[in-house]
Amino acid sequence: MNNKYELIYEGKAKKVFSHDDVDKVIIEFKDDATAFNALKKAKFEGKGKLNCLISARIFEFLIKKNIPTHFIELKNENTIIAQKIKVIPLEIVLRNTAYGSLCKQTTIRPGTDLAKPLIDFYLKNDELNDPLITKDRIELMNIISSNDLNLIVDLTLKINEILKIFFKNIQLRLIDFKLEFGYDSKNNILLGDEISPDNCRLWDLNQKNDTIVSLDKDRFRNDLGGLIEAYSEINRRINKVI
Ligand code: TMP
């Protein structure tokens, strides 16, 4: 990245740089992958570019469906321009099908279809290992108002309906995903971060039997191999329909 831009923040998978316009930022997607709060780390050449392209296409689609997001435009293959937001320190996970931590923490069997989407909140705090948090604790900590939390829940449910159809059209089943939101300079709530196979579980519907084929970061989390092949396949399917 051109050194005229200042590195404002470096996360596990992205770097955020300043922009000439103070209301904007430049976000660079890295090739690093982490799991279990960075206990497990690896680098996958080309992952940053794939996630950037996939996420850009999905954000463009959400914007067309009137979802307020931070995304402005692709700058190049692994960089986007976005609205600068004050990130709300919550991870909002929506689950359509039980998998992952839900099945480790309950007696619900992996692969169970949920009668209605389940929304779980996690506190974004690496030192505490991003713990599961309740609505009452969010209020107690004054993280956001209950009105804004309701707004975020409504937006998340709406995004789920849009994404379920988007992915079904490319033969993928949306199992669950994680979102992050923030406030822009006018205090509007915008969807931030990324939507990619790093933060969605996507199962291939092009399977003759019932075997689960994950085309997402579970390939790394569960040592399945073929992460770049899976992400490339998603990018290929998206570009075929758009
Ligand atoms: P979980 O089953 O591990 O709670 O994950 C649920 C979804 O959230 C899954 O699609 C992966 C995503 N996720 C993130 O994007 N970041 C995280 O730190 C975690 C724990 C999950």
8 A C-beta contact, residue 35 and residue 44: no
**Ligand 1 atom with minimal separation from the 199 CA:** 15
Residue 189 domain-assigned (yes or no): yes
Q: Return the pLDDT at 147.
A: 97
Task: Verify that 107 and 72 share a domain, yes or no.
Answer: no
Task: Give the pLDDT score at 208.
Answer: 83
Are 152 and 122 members of one domain? yes
Q: What is the pLDDT of residues 104-129, one digit of tens each?
A: 999 999 999 999 999 999 999 999 99
Same domain as 66, residue 100: no
pLDDT of residue 2: 66
199 close to ligand 1 (CB < 6 Angstrom): yes
Domain count, the chain: 2
CATH number for the domain spanning 162: value is 3.30.470.20
Q: How many CB atoms lie within 10 A of CB 73?
A: 10
Q: Could you list the residue range(s) of the whole structural domain that residue 75 is in?
A: 7-83
**What's the 92 CA to ligand 1 centre distance in angstroms?**
9
- Do 144 and 49 share a structural domain? no
Neighbours of 34 (CB within 10 A): 17
> Which of 27, 61, 83 finishes a domain?
83
pLDDT at site 109: 98
Q: Whose CA is nearest to atom 4 of ligand 1?
A: 101
Residues 53 and 113 in one domain: no
Report the nearest atom of ligand 1 relative to the CA of 217: 11
* The pLDDT value given to residue 209: 83
**Ligand 1 mean position, distance from CA 111 (Å):** 16
pLDDT reported for residue 242? 64
- The answer as to whether 233 is a domain residue is no
CA of 187 to the centre of ligand 1 (A): 27
* 177 in contact with ligand 1, CB cutoff 6 A: yes
Query: Which tens digit of pLDDT belongs to each residue from 60-114?
Result: 999 999 999 999 999 999 999 999 999 999 999 999 999 999 999 999 999 999 9
Does 99 lie in the same domain as 58?
A: no
CB 51 within 8 A of CB 194: yes
Length of the chain: 242
Domain boundary among 83, 99, 128: 83
Cβ of residue 220 lying under 6 Å from some atom of ligand 1: no
Q: Does residue 93 have its Cβ closer than 6 Å to ligand 1?
A: yes
Residue 135 lies in a domain: yes
Residue nearest ligand 1's atom 11 by CA: 199
If you measure from the C-alpha of residue 77 to the centroid of ligand 1, how many angstroms do you get, rounded to a whole number? 25
Low-confidence residues of the chain: pLDDT under 50: none
* CATH number of the domain that residue 15 is part of: 3.30.200.20
φ/ψ of residue 34, rounded to 5: -130, 155
Contact between 96 and 117 (Cβ < 8 Å): yes
29 within domain boundaries? yes
Answer positive or negative: Cα dihedral of 130, 127, 38, 68.
Answer: positive
Q: Are residues 214 and 104 in the same domain?
A: yes
The reply to whether 14 falls in a domain is yes
By alpha-carbon position, which residue is closest to atom 2 of ligand 1? 100
- Is 170 contained in some domain? yes
Cα distance from N-terminal residue to C-terminal residue, the chain: 29
Is there an atom of ligand 1 within 6 Å of 11 CB?
A: no
Instruction: Check residue 60 and give its pLDDT.
Output: 98
Instruction: Tell me, yes or no, whether 107 lies in a domain.
Output: yes
